[in-house]
């Protein structure tokens, strides 16, 4: 039976079996203080409550290499298991969704342990992989905001494709491109592409940072799938590379399966899932909040700034697909092209996308589109609030803060509009009926002129039939309510929680179930902001129930945030009971329940291929009319689990799998951590739990000296919970702190002796005894570095006459002693070729961290042939020392003139044409101001 919220606590019985829990739910503080001070979070590792320990156990399973959650490139797989078809069509793909959950998981780990290095590492990996680098979107500079894209209608069924481009349909202007370019000095888009093939199973080899197709082999690869209307399920897709160079597929690659045109050009294209980027912002907010409560906000500042930048570009999800007017847009030709903000609906739509001509394909062009279809499950009021209210997360662009502020209000209105009489949220709205600006049925309700759609974006299965979208969306609303106490959020939440709780069962034996498939009848009232309707005619019913642990984790987080702010003890008790019940389903890799996959009878579904079209997949599988899902993925038959599926296709029982999806396992860990932080008495690190200090660091050694700096290293200390950092003392006075095992002390006097010692800290605030002291003396003069260096260079720019200079550098220590990188400079000589005397310089990627790299353009006092300027590249103290024989790793650099006029690089002194790293004597290296490598012009 179902248990109502009013009777749940008394009906709970003995369901708290999973963790042997005996603590009650805590409401020691009034509801108004629940979102308050950081005392609860400052010493999380000190807490010995079982929910914090459950978080650490789950985290350890996820991060254990033997459990197989991460690819060799450091990205989380969609699932540990490979035979997996749902939105990704293979378990060892990944999504931006999984990456955003990873960021959030590492933020929670930072709260519990005080160690923020894993959170920063997640962002660094994302920048190197799933966020396309310049090489992956190399012709973005060719984008014209006044002509963002050419219209192509969507069609209800896959057999309506390819869809013909129609240049006669008016499209609007992009109002945010120029301010983004001005804010960040680039026309590149900073957002995650939604899908990657981490094992390169398909074999396209669209490897990040290459902008090409290297074919079968190891390494992650960008891919695309869905392209053909709302009815195209995962079983009917034709995967394709993001950069299509016509090496696979047919004569035009895969392009002419989707778009009809008179001719086809090699090109790249990416699609962003806004809910994932918004979740990444959400994770960054929590990281900033928790780190600030620990006094460590500086340790996450660089990653938080990246999230703010991502939020700036995420605004593309707020615009109509072709920048047409919002509202009453019911004919593609008569619906006007918008200017300014008339095309902005301020919701998080299903996607935004961008593309352009492949490098070297001849001719430069690029496009960008938004989307007019918005789903309730994609909205994120917490992210909108953070981007418009938290200074460290406020994007640079002039209108970004106001955009996100208006989006916050619009999202809350949207959710209110879609709430059924029972409390569940209906689907969404669209500005382009059936994707072609059609006329919706008479009487269709509207939201700011956009038509109600109970199943926006996809129909197989219907997009709003899955309870998971309810739990995902409401978890964000609940987090926003917890942080701000917003009354609109509370009203929506209280009604939703009452409905969901009434449909949830937790048995004394640990069994549990909640809604799975929903059915919708009726429709909402047309939105009136001044007087919202009560939606008396909009209803939901539950078709069936399930015990999906990932959805359950989102549901628990919703209940936890809501209970912590409102004081609702029934909601808190239900959160606890569900957590306890789910934890009974532990495996060696996490927490999971078996699931029977009836839909796997669709492996032999036909994939629509137009008559007369033929091509091949990279492995040789033919693509032609009559092809099926499995026929163009024949490699699936080599999967060790394939016999279970084949037996089902041959008439046997449906196969059962116990999957370990990364997002679900991370969500479970987060549910434990959030419950511990907010609802366990003394949980989340109430002060006083841990009194045991770490051991003293050993092996303190001086590793490098200059006339103004000293570098140190030591061995790791140990602690009963976790060491979170080290304090370095110079002559008995604190000189600085670090989370690593090295430290460079700068700004010292030449020829002076100093005494150093190091102490370890844990999250409970305990400090070890000082290490044994070491004496060190700065140099008296001469070279401030030790060892010799060389510079390696590669050309990152296929065009010598565009408006940016792009290059890669790396510095190698060729000597036998460490080099203090703060003493090293590299100079790349070039000519300005007229134009202004000011330049923009950028480090797009650095293995040492872009924030640790300095870069500026300097005028040559006596210009030489091929050199009247040089780009000088240096390093901050955060870059540390460079060990003998070591390399700094790649530095991806670029520069432009302030008026963005073109260069002629063909005669530049330092330029070469090699596209892989090679020694470059025409790029100089200087140690403490003295030339140590290369030949000056």
Q: Between 917 and 508, whose confidence is greater?
A: 917
Closest CA to 400 of 647, 602, 183: 183
pLDDT tier for residue 597 given thresholds of 50, 70 and 90: very high
Sorting pLDDT into bands at 50, 70 and 90, what band is 530? very high
Sequence-separated (6 or more) residues with CB below 8 Å from residue 937: 829, 864, 865, 866, 867, 909, 922
Contact 936, 924 (CB under 8 A): yes
User: Which token pair is 534?
Assistant: 């009560």
Q: How far apart are CA 371 and CA 350, in angstroms?
A: 7
**What is the structure's pLDDT at 795?**
93
Quick one: pLDDT at residue 765? 59
Q: Which of these, 229, 224, 236, lies nearest to 153 by C-alpha position?
A: 229
Specify the higher pLDDT residue, 292 or 768: 292
Q: Place 776 in a pLDDT band, splitting at 50, 70 and 90.
A: confident
Residue 28 has pLDDT above 60, yes or no: no
Q: For residue 21, is pLDDT > 80?
A: no
Helix, strand, coil in percent for the chain, rounding step 5: 30, 25, 45
User: pLDDT band at 9, cuts 50/70/90?
Assistant: very low
pLDDT at 744 over 80: yes
Q: Is the model's pLDDT at 204 over the cut of 80?
A: yes
Output the six-digit token pair for 138: 């190399």
Q: What is the pLDDT of residue 268?
A: 97
Asked if the bond preceding 162 is cis, omega within 30° of 0, the reply is yes
Identify the pLDDT of residue 764.
Answer: 58
Tell me, what's the pLDDT at 6?
Answer: 22
373: CB partners within 8 A, 6+ apart:
349, 350, 428, 429, 430, 431, 432, 435, 453, 456, 457
Weakest-pLDDT range from 13-17, 664-668, 751-755, 756-760:
13-17
Residues 239-268, mean pLDDT to the nearest whole number: 97
Query: Tens digits of per-residue pLDDT, 400-426?
Result: 999 999 999 999 999 999 999 999 999
CA proximity to 92, closest of 219, 210, 209:
219
The pLDDT, as a whole number, for residue 681 is: 65
DSSP type of residue 606:
B
Residue 877 has pLDDT above 90, yes or no: no
What's the average model confidence in pLDDT over 732-758? 82
How does 701-735 read in b/e, with b if 16+ C-beta sit within 10 Å?
A: eebbbbbbbbbbbbeebebebbbbbbbbbbeeeeb
Rounded CA-CA distance 179/145 in Å is 11
Query: Which stretch of 216-225, 481-490, 767-776 has the lowest confidence by average pLDDT?
Result: 767-776
For position 752, what pLDDT does the model report? 81
For residues 829-835, average pLDDT: 91
- Three-state secondary structure along 374-394? EEHHHCCHHHHHHHHHCHHHC
Residue 509 designated active-site: yes
What's the CA angle centered on 272, arms 613 and 519, to 5 degrees? 85
Tell me the backbone φ, ψ of residue 587, rounded to 5 degrees: -130, 175
Least confident of 125-134, 331-340, 659-668, 872-881: 872-881
For the stretch 40-51, pLDDT in tens is 333 333 346 899
Q: Which of 99-108, 359-368, 471-480 has the lowest mean pLDDT?
A: 359-368
Q: Give the per-residue pLDDT at 923.
A: 95
pLDDT top residue among 140 and 765 = 140
pTM for the whole structure: 0.72
- Quote the pLDDT of residue 508: 75
Query: Per-residue pLDDT averaged across 582-589, rounded?
Result: 95
Instruction: Determine the angle formed by the axes of helices 274-293 and 467-484, rounding to 10 degrees.
Output: 30
Band of the pLDDT at 763, cuts 50, 70, 90? low
For 309-319, what is the mean pLDDT?
98
Mean pLDDT of 741-755: 83
The pLDDT value recorded for residue 436 is 97
For the residues 562-569, what does the mean pLDDT come to?
A: 96
User: Which pLDDT belongs to residue 682?
Assistant: 52
CB 76 within 8 A of CB 70: yes
Task: Give the residue-averaged pLDDT of 199-227.
Answer: 96
Is pLDDT above 80 for 363?
A: no
For residue range 778-798, what is the model confidence (pLDDT) as tens digits?
877 533 334 589 999 999 988
Average pLDDT value over all residues in the chain? 90
R_g of the chain, CA atoms, integer Å = 29
Distance CA 646, CA 604 (A): 10
Residue 549: which H helix or E strand, with range? helix 549-566
Q: What tens digit of pLDDT does each residue of 679-728 get?
A: 996 543 332 345 688 899 999 988 888 877 888 899 999 988 778 788 88
Q: Is the pLDDT of residue 271 over 60?
A: yes
Catalytic residue among 48, 159, 331, 509: 509
Structure confidence at residue 32 as a pLDDT band (50, 70, 90)? very low
- Ordered DSSP codes for 284-309: HHHHHHHHHHTT-HHHHHHHHHHHHH
pLDDT value for 883:
84
Note the pLDDT of residue 690: 59
Which residues fall within 8 angstroms of residue 887, CB to CB, at 6 or more apart? 792, 810, 811, 812, 813
Three-state DSSP class for 357? strand
Q: Which residue has the tokens 């109600």?
A: 452
Cα separation values, 400 from 99, 177, 212, 737, Å? 24, 12, 33, 35
- CA–CA dist 133, 191 (Å, integer): 10
Alpha helices in 148-273 (DSSP H): 177-184
Over range 821-839, report the average pLDDT: 91
* Of 475 and 733, the one with more pLDDT: 475
Answer yes or no: is pLDDT of 15 > 60: no
pLDDT in tens, 629-649: 999 999 999 999 999 999 999
More confident position, 683 or 773 = 773
In sequence order, what are the beta bridge partners of 842? Answer: 894
Q: Give residue 277's pLDDT band: very low, low, confident or very high (50, 70, 90).
A: very high
Confidence of residue 30 (pLDDT cuts 50, 70, 90): very low
């Amino acid at each position: 039976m179902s248990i109502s919220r009013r009777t749940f606590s008394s009906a709970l019985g003995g369901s708290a079996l999973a963790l042997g829990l005996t603590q009650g739910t805590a409401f020691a503080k009034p509801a108004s203080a629940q979102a308050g001070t950081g005392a609860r979070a400052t010493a999380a590792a000190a807490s010995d409550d079982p929910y914090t320990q459950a978080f650490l156990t789950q985290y350890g399973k996820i991060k254990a290499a033997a459990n197989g959650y991460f690819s060799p490139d450091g990205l989380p797989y969609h699932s540990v298991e490979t035979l997996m078809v749902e939105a990704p069509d293979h378990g060892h793909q990944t999504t931006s969704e999984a990456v955003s959950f990873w960021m959030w998981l590492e933020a929670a780990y930072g709260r519990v342990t005080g160690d923020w290095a894993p959170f920063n590492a997640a962002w660094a990996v994302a920048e190197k992989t799933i966020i396309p680098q310049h090489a992956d979107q190399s012709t973005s500079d060719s984008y014209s905001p006044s002509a963002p894209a050419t219209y192509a209608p969507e069609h209800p069924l896959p057999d309506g494709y390819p869809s013909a481009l129609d240049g006669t349909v008016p499209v609007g202007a992009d109002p945010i491109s120029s301010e983004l370019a001005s804010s960040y000095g680039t026309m590149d888009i900073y957002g995650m592409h939604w899908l990657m093939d981490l094992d390169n199973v398909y074999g396209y080899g669209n490897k990040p940072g290459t902008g090409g197709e290297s074919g079968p082999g190891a390494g992650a690869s960008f891919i695309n799938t869905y392209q053909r209307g709302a009815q195209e399920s995962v079983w009917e897709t034709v995967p394709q590379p993001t950069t299509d160079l016509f090496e696979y597929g047919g004569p035009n690659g895969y392009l002419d399966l989707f778009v009809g045109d008179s001719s086809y050009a090699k090109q790249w294209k990416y699609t962003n899932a806004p809910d994932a980027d918004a979740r990444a912002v959400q994770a960054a907010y929590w990281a900033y909040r928790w780190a600030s409560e620990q006094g460590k906000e500086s340790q996450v500042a660089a990653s938080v700034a990246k999230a703010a930048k991502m939020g700036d570009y995420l605004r593309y999800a707020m615009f109509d697909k072709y920048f047409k007017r919002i509202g009453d847009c019911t004919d593609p030709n008569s619906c006007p092209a918008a200017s300014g903000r008339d095309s902005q609906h301020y919701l998080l739509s299903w996607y935004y996308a961008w593309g352009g001509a492949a490098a070297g394909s001849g001719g430069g062009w690029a496009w960008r589109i938004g989307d007019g279809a918005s789903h309730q499950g994609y909205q994120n009021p917490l992210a909108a609030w953070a981007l418009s209210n938290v200074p460290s997360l406020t994007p640079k662009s002039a209108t970004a803060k106001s955009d996100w502020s208006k989006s916050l209000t619009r999202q809350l209105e949207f959710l209110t509009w879609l709430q059924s009489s029972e409390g569940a949220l209906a689907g969404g709205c669209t500005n382009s009926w059936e994707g072609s600006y059609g006329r919706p049925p008479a009487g269709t309700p509207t939201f700011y002129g956009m038509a109600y759609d109970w199943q926006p974006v996809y129909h197989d299965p219907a997009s709003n039939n899955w309870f998971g979208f309810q739990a995902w969306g409401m978890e964000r609303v609940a987090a926003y309510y917890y942080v701000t106490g917003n009354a609109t959020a509370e009203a929506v939440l209280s009604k939703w929680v009452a409905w969901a709780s009434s449909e949830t069962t937790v048995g004394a034996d640990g069994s549990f179930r909640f809604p799975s498939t929903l059915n919708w009848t009726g429709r909402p009232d047309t939105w009136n902001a001044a007087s919202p309707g009560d939606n008396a005619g909009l209803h939901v019913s539950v078709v069936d129930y399930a015990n999906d642990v990932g959805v359950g984790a989102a549901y628990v987080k919703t209940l936890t945030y809501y209970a912590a702010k409102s004081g609702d003890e029934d909601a808190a008790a239900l959160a606890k009971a569900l957590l306890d019940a789910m934890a009974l389903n532990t495996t060696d890799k996490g927490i999971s329940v078996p699931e029977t996959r009836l839909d796997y009878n669709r492996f032999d579904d036909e994939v629509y291929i137009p008559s007369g079209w033929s091509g091949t997949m990279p492995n040789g599988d033919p693509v032609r009319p009559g092809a099926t899902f499995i026929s163009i993925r024949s490699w699936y038959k080599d999967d060790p689990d394939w016999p279970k599926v084949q037996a089902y296709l041959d008439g046997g029982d449906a196969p059962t799998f116990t999957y370990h999806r990364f997002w679900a396992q991370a969500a479970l860990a987060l549910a434990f951590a959030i419950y511990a932080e907010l609802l366990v008495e003394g949980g989340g690190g109430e002060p006083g739990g841990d009194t045991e200090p770490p051991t003293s660091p050993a092996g303190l050694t001086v590793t490098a000296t200059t006339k103004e700096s000293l570098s140190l290293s030591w061995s790791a200390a140990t602690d009963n919970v976790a060491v979170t950092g080290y304090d370095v003392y110079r002559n008995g006075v604190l000189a600085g702190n670090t989370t690593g095992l090295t430290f460079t002390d700068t700004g010292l006097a030449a020829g002076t002796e100093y005494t150093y010692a190091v102490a370890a800290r844990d999250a409970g605030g305990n400090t070890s005894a000082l290490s044994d002291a070491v004496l060190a003396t700065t140099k008296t003069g001469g070279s401030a570095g030790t060892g010799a260096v060389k510079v390696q260079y590669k050309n990152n720019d296929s065009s010598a006459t565009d408006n940016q200079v792009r290059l890669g550098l790396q510095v190698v220590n060729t000597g036998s002693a460490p080099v203090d990188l703060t003493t090293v400079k590299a100079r790349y000589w070039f000519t300005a070729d007229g134009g202004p005397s000011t330049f923009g310089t950028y480090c797009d990627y650095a293995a040492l961290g872009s924030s640790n790299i300095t870069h500026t353009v300097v005028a040559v006092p006596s210009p030489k042939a091929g050199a009247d300027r040089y780009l000088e590249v240096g390093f901050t103290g955060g870059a540390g020392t460079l060990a003998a024989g070591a390399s700094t790793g790649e530095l991806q650099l670029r520069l432009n003139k302030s008026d963005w006029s073109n260069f002629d690089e063909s005669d530049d002194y330092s330029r070469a044409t090699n596209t892989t790293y090679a020694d470059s004597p025409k790029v100089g290296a200087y140690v403490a101001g003295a030339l140590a490598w290369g030949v000056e012009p």
